[in-house]
């Protein structure tokens, strides 16, 4: 998936179908010149329905088409025949999609399962035919109900990535490089901050043909919880990850301080994020010799207060399989 095709926030305009008119008809056939009313009901208008699709990863479908309109219901007919229901419109969305009211920003529903269907805008009811209005005092009613109008509403579709592991770290920490090594994803990689402007997803192939999904989230900066930098743009994606992998480069001035800053940003955005399983990966460790690594380990055991960590190098392919093993163990604990 190219970065330009990753769309995770769109506004859509949805219109349901109008209900069909009820029929005004009196029964007529040979030898029956004055039969009773037999006008059928109108069909309902079409619904607009969200449907979850596990094969989709982005809302790019709605980037260029934002207006959707369901079909109108058919009119009723003689012999109490009901009109056809209007054609429903199905909007296929990736799992993790949230529907918000465009005006109040209130969350209306969320799609989390493949094939899950939720009616967003209901079609108008069909009108009742004159058969329903017969009575002892009015045996030949010559009126019926019109169909109810459809509804036109605007909504916001917002995607929160459903990934097993989310990469968390400051810009230029090596997240994209790790993702390119550990999966078949090809994220944009360069030696400057904010190379990744939108999340990248990759499938990590594990032993015995098993796999899990890893997401490279744009880098955190201090103040992100208040919306600075890419702020809320990426923090909402972290909410759906089962496990968080903190990536901190070995040449950082203070690894434990960077870790605390990252934790603090998550805490200020949503304290529940701290309840997730966490693992710290010290990247670029190929620049460390064994003696220096032992010294750093002794310090980190104290400074990180027991938080699990390991040394890896994406470029030198050091500790990558051990990292996969640890993540798999955490995901299936």
Q: Domains along the chain?
A: 1-159 (2.70.210.12), 165-331 (3.40.50.300)
219/323: higher pLDDT: 323
Residue of higher predicted confidence among 48 and 79: 48
The rounded mean pLDDT for the chain is 85
- For residue 156, the model assigns a pLDDT of 95
Q: Are 187 and 176 in contact (CB under 8 A)?
A: yes
Token match 């769109």: residue? 10
Residues 47 and 73: their CA atoms lie apart, in Å, by: 10
Instruction: Report how far residue 150's alpha carbon sits from residue 166's, in angstroms, rounded to the nearest whole number.
Output: 42
- Lowest average pLDDT, out of 214-228, 261-275, 315-329, goes to 214-228
**Strand pairing of 152-159 and 9-15?**
antiparallel
Indicate whether 189 pLDDT > 80: no
User: What's the pLDDT tens digit per position in 39-73?
Assistant: 999 999 999 999 999 888 788 889 889 999 999 99
Q: What is the pLDDT at residue 186?
A: 54
Q: Are 21 and 43 contacting, i.e. CB atoms less than 8 angstroms apart?
A: no
Plot region of 30 (φ>0 → left; ψ -120 to 50 → alpha; else → beta)? beta
- The alpha carbons of the chain give a radius of gyration, in whole angstroms, of 29
The candidate with the shortest Cα–Cα distance to 131, out of 141, 145, 117, is 141
More confident residue, 36 or 117: 117
Inform me whether the pLDDT recorded for 32 exceeds 60.
yes
**29 forms bridges with which residues in the sheet?**
32
What is the per-residue pLDDT for 228?
44
Q: Is 331 in contact with 212 (CB distance < 8 Å)?
A: yes
The gap from C-alpha 31 to its chain's centroid, in whole angstroms, comes to 63
CA dist 167 and 219 (Å) reads: 9
More confident residue, 245 or 31: 245
Question: pLDDT for 13-29, tens place per residue?
Answer: 999 999 999 999 998 88
Cα–Cα dist 207/114, whole Å: 25
Order of strands across the sheet that contains 117-121:
89-93, 48-52, 117-121
| Residue 142 burial (CB count, 10 A) | 12
pLDDT of residue 265: 81
* pLDDT, position 230: 45
pLDDT score of 200 more than 90: no
Check pLDDT > 80 for residue 202: no
Confidence of residue 194 (pLDDT cuts 50, 70, 90): very low
């Amino acid at each position: 998936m190219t970065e330009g095709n990753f769309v995770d926030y769109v506004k859509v305009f949805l219109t349901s179908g109008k209900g069909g008119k009820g029929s005004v008809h009196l029964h007529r056939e040979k030898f029956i010149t004055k039969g009773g009313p037999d006008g059928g009901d109108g069909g309902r208008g079409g619904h607009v329905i969200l449907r979850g699709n596990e094969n989709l990863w982005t809302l790019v479908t709605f980037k260029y088409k934002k207006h959707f309109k369901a079909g109108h219901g058919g009119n009723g007919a003689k012999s109490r025949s009901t009109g056809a229901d209007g054609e429903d419109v199905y909007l296929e969305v990736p799992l993790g999609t949230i529907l918000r009211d465009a005006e109040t920003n209130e969350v209306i529903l969320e799609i989390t399962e493949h094939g899950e269907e939720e009616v967003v805008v209901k079609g108008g009811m069909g009108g009742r035919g004159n058969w329903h209005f017969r009575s002892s005092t009015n045996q030949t009613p010559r009126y019926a109900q019109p169909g109810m109008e459809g509804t036109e509403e605007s909504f916001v579709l917002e995607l929160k990535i459903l990934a097993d592991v989310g990469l968390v770290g400051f810009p230029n920490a090596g997240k994209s490089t790790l993702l390119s090594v550990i999966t078949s994803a090809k994220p944009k990689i360069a030696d400057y901050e904010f190379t990744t402007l939108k999340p990248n997803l990759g499938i990590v192939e594990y032993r015995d043909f098993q796999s899990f999904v890893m997401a490279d989230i744009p880098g955190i900066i201090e103040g992100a919880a208040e919306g600075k930098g890419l702020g809320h743009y990426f923090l909402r994606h972290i909410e759906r990850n089962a496990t968080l992998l903190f990536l901190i480069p070995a040449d950082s001035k203070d690894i434990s301080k960077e870790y605390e800053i990252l934790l603090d940003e998550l805490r200020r955005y949503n304290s529940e994020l701290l309840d997730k399983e966490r693992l710290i990966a010290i990247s670029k460790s190929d620049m460390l010799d064994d003696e220096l690594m032992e010294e750093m380990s002794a310090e980190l055991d104290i400074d990180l207060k027991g938080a699990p960590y390991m040394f890896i190098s994406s470029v030198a392919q050091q500790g990558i399989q051990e990292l996969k093993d640890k993540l798999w163990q955490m995901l299936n604990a």
